[in-house]
Amino acid sequence: MTESRTDHRTGRRAGRPTAPVLDRERIADAALILVTEEGQGRLTMKRLADRLGVSVSALYNHIANKADLLLLVEDAVMSRVDASALGKLVDAQSPAGALPVALWSWGRSYRDVFAAYPELVPLIATMPVSGAPATRRMYETVSAGLVAAGVPRAQVVTVIVSFESFLYGSAMDANAPTEIFSSAPEESDAPTFQAAVEAFTARVTDAPSGAANPYADDPFEWGLQALVDRVAALVGL
């Protein structure tokens, strides 16, 4: 048993604490696990405190309210999105014409991160960036990279929102049931669509995939390429 004693200079107990120190990072990690396992609707201060083994009042020493908690969760997720390839365009660390590759890297990371937290897509897609420093840093890196590559400042937000509109949907699709387009034998009112589904399935069935829905990868690659090509054309690549 580890011996603890009182430090008479500070009045505090010396030795290793019996539980990990509570901080915003630990709170955010626990909130993400809770949302992943139980859904965003179950994210309450009481349930989060129970998971952390602390009182609700202890949480309020680190977060102001439920809105602050949601911003913390937003920041925790966004901090996992890798925009470093776009950041390298700012200081010319990448060769000329590297914008498409950088956009692919960012887009793949963004989709993969949110595919791991599909419950949070509807929430974070509509949350403000104010009060979320990691989120703002990610947007700054992307914006600076786009401008450095020649994208007009007036088009930067259009590019970002266009990508996000697609990436959020792709993240949801990565978790969709594989039989989402299947039809019952007695349903014959959409023969052209059903034939297209069968042709698509035959083409992508053997394709490698890390997604929960293996059929999601092919449309994702196709859509991301279209967006990348549009931005590349915007800067003359």
Q: Please state, in angstroms and rounded to a whole number, the distance separating the CA atoms of residues 47 and 153.
A: 44
Cβ atoms of residues 142 and 106 within 8 Å = yes
Mean pLDDT by 10 residues, the chain (237 residues): 46 51 86 83 87 89 86 89 94 79 96 90 86 92 95 96 96 83 76 80 61 79 96 91
Q: Please state, in angstroms and rounded to a whole number, the distance separating the CA atoms of residues 105 and 87.
A: 11
Picking from 54, 234, 166, 11, the residue whose alpha carbon sits closest to that of residue 63 is 54
pTM of the prediction?
A: 0.79
DSSP state of 94: S
Report all structural domains of the chain as residue ranges with CATH numbers, in order of start.
16-63 (1.10.10.60), 84-234 (1.10.357.10)
Q: What is the pLDDT of residue 17?
A: 47
Q: What is the pLDDT of residue 86?
A: 95
Cβ atoms of residues 148 and 90 within 8 Å = yes
